[in-house]
Structure 1
Amino acid sequence: MQKQKCNRYIGIYSCIMLCKASLAMDGLRRSVVSRNGPGCSSVAYGASEEIGPFRINRTASGLYLNKFSWNKLANLLFLETPAGVGFSYSNRSSDLLDTGDQRTAEDSLKFLIQWMERFPRYKKRELYLTGESYAGHYVPQLANAIVGYNSKSKNPINLRGFMVGNAVTDNYYDNLGTVTYWWSHAMISDETYRQLVNICDFRRQKESNECESLYYYAMDKEFGNIDQYNIYAPPCNNSDGSRTTRHSMRLPHQPYPMFRQLSGYDPCTEKYAEVYYNRPDVQKALHANTTRIPYKWTACSETLNRNWNDTDSSVLPIYRKLIAAGLRIWVFSGDVDSVVPVTATRYALAQLKLDTDAPWYPWYVKKQVGGWTEVYKGLTFATVRGAGHEVPLLKPRAALQLLKSFLAGQPLPSLK
Structure 2
Amino acid sequence: MFALGATMLLLVASEIVATRPQADKILSLPGISTMPAFEMYSGYLEVAAQKALHYWFVECEDPASQNLIIWFNGGPGCSSMEGLFTENGPYRFGEHRELYPNPSSWNTLGHILYLESPVGVGFSYGPEHDEINDDTTAQDAMKAIKVFFHKFSELGQADIFVTGESYAGFYVPILVSLIFKEPEVSHISSRIKGVMIGNPLLNQNKNVESLVYYSYYHGLFGKEKWLELISQCCKCEEEALAGDCKFRDTKSEGCLITFIHIVHSIYTSGLNLYNMYQDCTPPNSIMSMQFHRESTETALLRMIWKKYFREDKFDLAKLFTTNNNLGLSPPCSNTSTIHWYLNRQDVQDAIHVRSKEWEICSQPINDNFVKEYEDVKDFMLDILQKRDVPVLLYFGDMDLACNHLGGEWWMDDLGIPITFSRRRWYLPKPDGPSQIGGAVKVYNRLTFALVKGAGHMVPTDQPEAALYILKRFLSDEPL
Quickly name the TM-score band, shorter chain normalised: 0.7 to 0.9
**Residue 52 in 1 paired to residue 52 in 2?**
no
Structure 1 residues 271 and 10, CA, compared in 2 at 3 Å: closer, same or farther? farther
Counterpart code for 1:307: N
Q: TM-score, normalised by structure 1?
A: 0.85
**Residue 245 in 1 paired to residue 272 in 2?**
no
Structure 1 residues 378 and 410, CA, compared in 2 at 3 Å: closer, same or farther? same
Structure 1 CA distance for aligned equivalents of residues 372 and 228 of structure 2: 27
Conserved? CA contact 1:362–1:373, under 8 Å: yes
Deviation (angstroms), 1:224? 3.0
**Residue 319 in 1 paired to residue 384 in 2?**
no
Deviations 1:213-259 (A, max 9, x none): 52553136xx6322011011111134xxx5633542523899x9772
Deviation (angstroms), 1:307? 0.2
Structure 1 CA distance for aligned equivalents of residues 476 and 95 of structure 2: 37
SS at match of 1:55: strand
Match of 1:274 in 2: 339
Alignment of 1:221-370 (within 5 A): 224-238=269-283, 242=284, 244-247=286-289, 248=292, 249-251=295-297, 259-261=329-331, 268=334, 270-288=335-353, 290=354, 292-293=355-356, 296-324=357-385, 325-365=387-427, 366=429, 367-370=434-437
Match of 1:175 among 208, 225, 229: 208
Structure 1 residues 328 and 311, CA, compared in 2 at 3 Å: closer, same or farther? same
Alignment of 1:84-233 (within 5 A): 84-90=120-126, 92-95=127-130, 98-150=131-183, 153=186, 156-193=189-226, 198=232, 201-203=247-249, 210=257, 213-215=260-262, 217-219=264-266, 224-233=269-278
Structure 1 residues 39 and 121, CA, compared in 2 at 3 Å: closer, same or farther? same
- Unaligned stretches of 5+ in structure 1? none
Match of 2:68 in 1: 31
**Residue 14 in 1 paired to residue 81 in 2?**
no
Deviation (angstroms), 1:161? 1.3
- Unaligned stretches of 5+ in structure 2? 1-21, 25-43, 234-245, 301-318, 321-327
Deviation (angstroms), 1:342? 0.8
Deviations 1:144-178 (A, max 9, x none): 01111258746754111101111100122222211
Aligned pair count reads 388
Conserved? CA contact 1:9–1:81, under 8 Å: no
Deviations 1:305-329 (A, max 9, x none): 1001133110011111111110011
SS at match of 2:162: strand
Conserved? CA contact 2:53–2:118, under 8 Å: no
Deviation (angstroms), 1:261? 5.0
- The structure with more radius of gyration: 2
Q: TM-score, normalised by structure 2?
A: 0.74
Conserved? CA contact 2:53–2:123, under 8 Å: yes
SS at match of 1:160: strand
Q: Percent identity, aligned pairs only?
A: 28
Deviations 1:32-64 (A, max 9, x none): 101111100111x2101110001122333x311
SS at match of 2:121: coil
